[in-house]
Amino acid sequence: MRVKIEEDKIEIGTKVEADGIYSRKVTPFGNGAKIDFLKRFIGKDVIVVVIKK
């Protein structure tokens, strides 16, 4: 899979089957941050897109 990210555009270069789209809030965790996500995705490849507000 190839992902190309430009200024305001994301392009995924191969056919990708999505299992769903989920919105979560990033929260502090020690000296870093975390995103709570569904357990069924443990061990899966994911792409995180940070949305400009």
Residue 7 belongs to what domain range? 3-41
Number of separate domains in the chain: 1
What per-residue confidence (pLDDT) applies to 49?
A: 77
pLDDT tens for residues 1-53?
Answer: 677 777 767 777 777 677 777 888 999 999 999 998 889 889 988 878 777 76
- Per-residue pLDDT, 28: 95
pLDDT at 30: 94
Looking at the domain assignment, is residue 29 inside a domain? yes
Would you call 53 exposed, middle or buried from its count of C-beta atoms within 10 A (0-12, 13-18, 19+)?
exposed
| 46: in domain | no
The rounded distance, in Å, linking the Cα atoms of 10 and 37 is 22
pLDDT value of position 1: 61
| pLDDT, position 16 | 65
pLDDT attached to residue 32: 95
Q: Do the domain assignments include residue 50?
A: no
